[in-house]
Structure 1
Amino acid sequence: MVQNRPYTTVILAMSADGKIADFKRSPARFGSDVDKAHLEQQIAAADAVLLGAGTLCAYGTTRTISQPILLQHRQQEGKTNQPIHIVTTQSGNLNPEIKFFQQGITRWLLTTTVGAQSWQGRSEFDQILVFETPTGKIDPIAALKYLAPLGIARLAVLGGGALVASLLESNLIDELWLTVCPLILGGVNSPTPVDGQGFMSQLAPRLELLEVKTINQEVFLHYRLQQPID
């Protein structure tokens, strides 16, 4: 387990067949109002939110906290109304005209040297974080280790599947909240909670089921990652 990093929780809604979007990668708006409130509650417990560029481009915005009771709790804990929202992208290819850049939040960019070039000297992001491997990919271990001393103790990950896969591969996820929604999307090209190459079954990350809640037609699954034995 990687030490000295934020406690990291993935929160995703998926179809009954395990898809987080349709084959066109349209914004996934199939979660109920209960699921949206659940997501907001998880975000309110976090010091920062991490989301991939694909997820941001699909929606154009990020989820913010609006429930007065959640805002009140954050204020009582001495936190800002909204957590920091960190967008991760290898290329830095984001549209500065999307509504995300008008939302009343603190925005950080996690990218590579190449990805940072087009955003240097601009005002859209409050911080630009560059952590990359020798092959020019984002280094998630170095990035999360950097966040912890900044007071980011809890990190909420909102997708997409490629980001979750990279974090799982580096053993950087502690918990998952998966909402199973009552529809079937199908499609070989429809994204799942964990994309990428996948894991061989004997090496796959193992989960411990902490909680199951059924509300109306949705099932809320709460898992903890079992840590590998050294």
Structure 2
Amino acid sequence: MHVVVNAAMSADGKLSSRRREQIEISGPTDFDRVDQLRADSDAVMVGVGTVLADDPSLTIDDPERRAARAERGDPENPARVVADSRVRTPPDATVLDGRAQTYLLVSEAAPPDFIEEMEDAGAYVIAAGRDRVDLTTTLAKLEGEGIDRLMVEGGGELIFGLFEESLVDELFVYVGPKIIGGRDAPTLADGDGFVEDFPELELAGVERVDDGVVLHWTAEN
């Protein structure tokens, strides 16, 4: 599986404020770039924190891109994947609206009634990991479902987990002209943080977009 991480952050490296509320960092040109990344992917993945904070649809905005996918025999929208170690996905979340196949990744500690509720809401539940989602195992299972190119849109805990397991192949970061600040504001890669064996990236491109820049990195796994 090829994993592409995409994120937008402020000039000081924050994904949102300390209240973890959605903040518009990029503009229309970058939104279009992200829409194309989604259209090129088999699935789009987020952590449950993003679902709770933003309630995203993770679908493709441009009807021409949806039509192009249908013409080549793919679903109009890529599948949606939510990593939810703490079983917090609400059954009325937009990612469960039926516009695309939705996979919910949980740990083996997830209560059976929660799994049943999510399945009734339309999710395909994959459980792996004792008390938190085993990303390596669940992504391998997703690959078995035909997902070869996975786009990850955050948040910081999930992105850190993917780097921790050496699962990231590419990283796109839009850096916008805004300062958010705050020691408790989420960053690109939260989690426990690295103290040694830091993941190494190779710069593949820099492009000015809207009033910021897009940095494109490839990861050495």
Question: What is the TM-score when the length of structure 1 is the normalising length?
Answer: 0.90
Structure 1: state its 5+ residue gaps. 1-5
The 3-state SS of whatever aligns with 2:4 is strand
Distance in 2 (alpha carbons) for counterparts of 1:152 and 1:23: 34
Q: Among residues 181, 189, 199, which one is paired with 1:186 in the alignment?
A: 181
Matching of residues 1-230 of structure 1 within 5 Å: 6-102=1-97, 104-115=99-110, 117=112, 118-120=114-116, 122-133=119-130, 136-200=131-195, 203-227=197-221
Q: Deviations over 1:52-71 (max 9, x none)?
A: 00001111123310213311
Question: Given residue 151 of structure 1, which amino acid in structure 2 is its aligned partner?
Answer: G
TM-fit CA distance, 1:203: 1.7
| Contact 1:107/1:124, CA 8 A, preserved across alignment | no
TM-fit CA distance, 1:116: 5.0
Question: Given residue 210 of structure 1, which amino acid in structure 2 is its aligned partner?
Answer: A
Distance in 2 (alpha carbons) for counterparts of 1:77 and 1:171: 31
Distance in 2 (alpha carbons) for counterparts of 1:212 and 1:204: 22
Structure 1 runs of 4+ aligned residues shifted over 6 Å read: none
Distance in 2 (alpha carbons) for counterparts of 1:146 and 1:97: 25
Q: Deviations over 1:111-146 (max 9, x none)?
A: 01332521316421331100114xx22111111111
| Contact 2:159/2:189, CA 8 A, preserved across alignment | yes
Distance in 1 (alpha carbons) for counterparts of 2:165 and 2:24: 29
Q: Deviations over 1:60-114 (max 9, x none)?
A: 1233102133113312321100111011111212222333333522211100133
Distance in 2 (alpha carbons) for counterparts of 1:165 and 1:116: 26
| Contact 1:44/1:71, CA 8 A, preserved across alignment | yes
Change (3 A) 1:216 1:158: closer
TM-fit CA distance, 1:183: 0.2
Percent of paired sites with the same residue: 30
TM-fit CA distance, 1:151: 1.2
TM-fit CA distance, 1:25: 0.4
Structure 2: state its 5+ residue gaps. none
TM-fit CA distance, 1:163: 0.4
The 3-state SS of whatever aligns with 1:115 is coil
The 3-state SS of whatever aligns with 1:203 is coil
The 3-state SS of whatever aligns with 1:187 is coil
RMSD: 1.6
Q: Deviations over 1:7-59 (max 9, x none)?
A: 00001000000000111000132221112111111111110111100001111
